[in-house]
Amino acid sequence: MKRAQAVALGEAPADLVVAGGRVFLPETGEFRALDVAVCDNEVAALPDDASDVIGEDTRVIDADGRAVLPGFIDAHTHVDTVQTLENAYHYALEGGTTTLVTETSGLGGVFGAEGVEALLAATAYLPITVKATVPPQSLADTFGPARASDSEADELVDLLDDDRIVGVGETDWIHVVGRDSPIERLHERARREGKRNCGHGAGCDGAKLSAFAGAVDNDHEAISTEGVVERVERGIHAIGRYGSVRDDIEAIAGAVDRVGAAELSLSTDGMWPRKLIDEGLMDAVVRRTIDAGVEPADAIPMATLNPARHFGLDDRGSLAPGNAADILIVDDLETVNVTTVVSDGEVVVHNNEVRVAPRSHQYPDRFYDAVDVRTDPEEFRVPADAADADGRVRGIELRDGLVSAETTVEPAVEDGALVAAPERDVAKVALLDRHPDADGTGFTGFLSGYGIERGGVATSMTMEATGVLAVGADDADLRAAAERVDDLGGGWAVVRDGDVIAELPYRVGGCAADLEVEETAKLLDAVENALGTLGVGVDRPLISLASLPFVGVPTMKLTPDGYADVIRQELVGLEL
């Protein structure tokens, strides 16, 4: 007989007891006056009174009438971009997030299966549970041949055997709806393994959404209540989000009364360091959901039981016996003020005192010098004859958030070449391919709507692409910014009049900073402030740039081979 059974029968002492609380049972949506008895890092029993299993060595935590909840689960995030988790996980635990379901499109996008395995190794020893998905991006062939070789694709497919892999990562609908795609290899293997295929359905509706529903199991891209309902009606598990990318909680909140809460989960879709420090992680999402009018008894399962069941995490999301001892004590459900956190049986936060700290991790050597792009002047030169008779070329117009559209711009002409015309809000934009197997070349075009009046900025944070993006009002400063990012091994650099005025290194794969999270937040703030001195006035100027190569948003985007007309699924150049 397992010792946990003996505890349940009152015949052996528990290791830990949380006593005197109002325990939330997500299966029924009830709060009940129960104790929680823990043995061997799992919940052994929920007795009315655990006095019989309190021994000399039993640790007792008095909940004192407060709410006792299962640990929160982030149903969709990105822990391999911006900030390494080992330097930030304690902030997640502080707010009660004990499990993360993460994409791996950062390290996995650059290094394939090796990148995914490195992320799993980096997070295996942390007192927070990390489950990952396999990145499909290198198998996409919509705008050119799939980047992954057959052997590299095989390695990605084989990752689905790993117990910590819960499925295939977010797949943009444009890659798999109405066309054959190498990504289907991953999806088919996931189905055989009983794992999930995650979707990215931005702009997908009607018949296309029905077709997409046959390929994926969940989607986090509904931005309206009707979009949430349409997904649930088609059997797609809808995941709401509140984080650094978007706030779509009103859409999810509006759908609860129409479809119920069982097919809805919550996520951050990534919480950047400043927001993580200031607001928290899933505690912030649950708080935002309750603020939007969702009852706590519905909001809490959306951050616990629902994602656990959807992703097959049979030992998470509940305080029923047999579940991992992920336990929260919350003294105010409206503000989601988490005061004590038990993660896998370990007390990591007690009475608001965090008892864990940042940890270091050594990644493979080649992860620290993973950016290699060509930055000679010819890479950024656009010959004047690319323009039509009126001096116009095709460009990208930056709009709200992640949205960009095709536009026509009139650059200036200098020495037989087209250059930025900041007085007309025309900047030069370049995307250089930094993939280790590529030759470092790229595409240079033009951007409006960013508002940059002088200088240049570059970054290796290019969503679902492996590149270095550079934008500038001046060729020399644009080039200098790209060179600095190359020298840093990835990250951000802002240049004015030839001088680097702000920078942040992303040493790990060119994807994430390995600094302590407070330092990363400070340097990100400095980069954003420096952009303000260049005249940039758009909301969220960093994510606006990072999303320019992201073809998952069905508008005009940027690739190393030209502009991507996402709706028509074709590459186009500067010529009108």
* pLDDT tens-digit series, residues 160-204: 999 999 999 999 999 999 999 999 999 999 999 999 999 999 999
Tell me how far CA of residue 505 lies from CA of 190, 246, 428, 468, in angstroms: 35, 25, 23, 13
| pLDDT value for 384 | 95
252 touches 41 (CB < 8 A): no
Number of Cβ within a 10 Å radius of residue 124:
10
| pTM for the model | 0.96
- Residue whose C-alpha is closest to residue 156's, from 122, 105, 198: 105
The tens digit of pLDDT for each residue in 9-23 reads: 999 999 999 999 999
In 331-440, beta strands by DSSP E: 338-343, 346-350, 353-354, 382-383, 393-398, 404-409, 412-414, 417-419, 427-433
- Residue whose C-alpha is closest to residue 111's, from 86, 85, 137, 88: 137
| pLDDT value for 399 | 86
The tens digit of pLDDT for each residue in 320-331 reads: 999 999 999 999
- Residue whose C-alpha is closest to residue 96's, from 324, 318, 280: 280
Hey, what's the torsion of the CAs at 382, 384, 390, 392, to 10 degrees?
0
Reply yes or no on whether the pLDDT at 436 is more than 60. Answer: no
| pLDDT value for 301 | 98
Main-chain dihedrals φ then ψ at residue 547, nearest 5 degrees: -90, -5
126 touches 92 (CB < 8 A): no
Two domains, one topology: 3-65 and 69-353? no
- Residue whose C-alpha is closest to residue 197's, from 179, 216, 180: 216
The two beta strands, 346-350 and 338-343, are: antiparallel
The encoded tokens of residue 263 equal 């097919």
Residue 423 CB contacts under 8 Å (≥ 6 apart), including other chains: none
Average pLDDT value for residue range 362-387: 93
Alpha helices in 404-504 (DSSP H): 475-488
202 touches 241 (CB < 8 A): no
Reply yes or no on whether the pLDDT at 483 is more than 90. Answer: yes
Distance CA 552, CA 514 (A): 27
Reply yes or no on whether the pLDDT at 567 is more than 90. Answer: no
Task: Count CA within 13 A, CB hemisphere, residue 32.
Answer: 15
In Å, how far from its chain's centre is CA 242?
11
Reply yes or no on whether the pLDDT at 128 is more than 60. Answer: yes
515 touches 267 (CB < 8 A): no
Output b/e per residue, 409-428; b: 16+ Cβ within 10 A: bbbeeeeebbbbbbeebbbb
| pLDDT value for 437 | 59
* CATH class of the 69-353 domain in this structure: alpha beta
Q: Which of 1-10, 97-106, 370-379 has the highest mean pLDDT?
A: 97-106
Task: State percent of the chain over pLDDT 90.
Answer: 93
| pLDDT value for 1 | 76
Residue 326 CB contacts under 8 Å (≥ 6 apart), including other chains: 70, 71, 98, 99, 129, 316, 342, 343, 344
Distance CA 363, CA 532 (A): 34
Distance CA 496, CA 494 (A): 7
| pLDDT value for 122 | 97
Average pLDDT value for residue range 538-555: 91
The encoded tokens of residue 133 equal 């998905």
* 3-state SS string for 373-398: CCCCHHHHCEEHHHCCCCCCEEEEEE
Q: What region does 217 belong to: left with phi over 0, alpha with psi -120 to 50, or beta?
A: alpha
Residue 207 CB contacts under 8 Å (≥ 6 apart), including other chains: none
Least trusted range by pLDDT, from 433-442, 454-463, 513-522: 433-442
- Residue whose C-alpha is closest to residue 372's, from 438, 321, 451: 438
Task: State percent of the chain over pLDDT 70.
Answer: 99
End-to-end CA distance of the chain: 75
DSSP state of 243: S
| pLDDT value for 537 | 86
Output b/e per residue, 544-555; b: 16+ Cβ within 10 A: bbbbbbbbbbbb
94 touches 304 (CB < 8 A): no
> Which sequence spans correspond to the domains of the chain?
3-65, 69-353, 365-572
Q: What region does 398 belong to: left with phi over 0, alpha with psi -120 to 50, or beta?
A: beta
Q: Which fold is adopted by the domain 3-65?
A: Urease, subunit C; domain 1 (2.30.40)
68 touches 20 (CB < 8 A): no
pLDDT bucket at 555, cuts 50 / 70 / 90: confident
- Residue whose C-alpha is closest to residue 496's, from 460, 535, 544, 549: 535
Reply yes or no on whether the pLDDT at 297 is more than 80. Answer: yes
548 touches 469 (CB < 8 A): yes
The tens digit of pLDDT for each residue in 312-353 reads: 999 999 999 999 999 999 999 999 999 999 999 999 999 999
Distance CA 506, CA 524 (A): 11
Give the chain's mean pLDDT. Answer: 95
Amino acid letter, 547: S
Reply yes or no on whether the pLDDT at 439 is more than 70. Answer: no
The encoded tokens of residue 481 equal 């910014």
Residues in the chain: 576
- Residue whose C-alpha is closest to residue 27's, from 241, 305, 353: 305
Instruction: Compute the C-alpha angle 431/490/477, nearest 5°.
Output: 60
| pLDDT value for 400 | 76
The two beta strands, 97-102 and 82-83, are: unpaired
Instruction: Compute the C-alpha angle 509/515/516, nearest 5°.
Output: 140
Average pLDDT value for residue range 377-385: 93
pLDDT bucket at 438, cuts 50 / 70 / 90: low
Reply yes or no on whether the pLDDT at 143 is more than 80. Answer: yes
pLDDT bucket at 402, cuts 50 / 70 / 90: confident
